Amino acid sequence: MGIDRSINLDDLRIIAKRRVPNLIYDFIEGGVDDEAGLDRNESAYRQRRLLPRYMVDISKIDQSIQLFGKTYSSAYGIAPTGGIGNFRRGGDLMLARAARDANIPFIMSGAATAAMEDMAKQAPDHGWYQLYTAKDRSISEDQIRRAADLGIPALVVTVDVPITPNRERNRRNGFGRPLKLSLATKMEALRHPFWLRDYFNHGIAMLENWKAYAPPGSSAEQVGEFVSTQIPTSLTWGDIERFRSLWPRTFILKGIMRSDDAVRAADVGVDGLIVSNHGARQLDRAPPALDMLPALDAAVGDRMTLMLDGGIRRGADIVVALASGAKFVFLGRPTLYGVIAGGDAGAAKAVQIVRDEINKILAQIGCPVLRDCGPDFLCRDQEGRNVRP
């Protein structure tokens, strides 16, 4: 099956899985500990029911939405995913271009394998930057200044990576710094010639946004080792206040799950939150972002923009999230599957599949204007609780 015959995001996942060796696929697909959080993230959407309204004119569907003063073509964007150049060479900028062409935002990961300067050239109005805070705060402050000088519209500070998590798939595969690959892992990689060609031609991809801070002349591997000495690190509210003072435009925190943290964020001038459990890749016992959204909406929904990510696999999931109170949604793994499966065309295909599915769901529930998708489209019991199986 080629990407032109893919009809849903899982088709792209299957193609991507064939293209890369198991150690790469496990890095992308895996969670932590027992990986129960992965299923909870997806199940949270599957358990919600949409209540359709009929006898509505659905001849024209309008997905456009305003976010931080800009009109986007739909209410979803591409979440940050790190190390993309090790999966598909040039993949970061492929996703940035797909977002630009579809008029949706793309968040460049703090562990990107392309430079923010190149993103700003290719997607100046659609590329945001995610900050992974360094132990040496002067590095983070310099990255913030670089992004600000480039005119990048939004800074996303990820707050939910205080320590290195227990990703057991990676440990079993020897995927880390340095690589400790078993003979079986190496032999399995030989079955993926397209990926192997890129690896032998180019080696490990450079973490471009960190290269300037490593010792001069460092190789990609050495820059990666340097980064591993700088992140992860714990943050304080003092750091957030400092970063807010340095950043002149939209300032977002990613990873907030508690109402009291959300209130504190609003108090220090944060513009928006991406409610997230890091795709179930940090704390396996964390709740899905969708489950936490109502409490956060009640606490700060009138003070800041609430977005979320994690577990999105269908356009229907995005509609459920919007009906549950989210103003915007980001998805990471599905668009990553697209770019691995087919480069620029695969990234565009993933984005288009999501858009088409949203169109069908909005028509099916009788909500021709996405901005009007609210809680009345969720099926609830007599006590007002979401109906689940």
Tell me the one-letter amino acid at 324: S
Query: Exactly one of 126, 192, 202, 278 is catalytic; which is it?
Result: 278
Q: Smallest Cα–Cα separation from 227: which of 300, 296, 335, 133? A: 133
The tokens of 243 are what?
A: 């970063």
Q: How far apart are CA 167 and CA 27, in angstroms?
A: 8
List alpha helices for 123-182, DSSP H.
137-149, 168-173
Rg (CA), the chain: 20
Q: How far apart are CA 212 and CA 230, in angstroms?
A: 14
Tell me the one-letter amino acid at 202: H
Neighbouring CB atoms inside 10 A of 190's CB total: 9
Tally the residues of the chain. Answer: 389
Catalytic residue list contains 202: no
Neighbouring CB atoms inside 10 A of 109's CB total: 24
Q: Smallest Cα–Cα separation from 288: which of 252, 261, 317? A: 317
Look-up of token digits 């300032």: 251
Q: How far apart are CA 46 and CA 317, in angstroms?
A: 8
**Which residues, in sequence order, are bridge partners of residue 251?**
155
Catalytic residues: 278
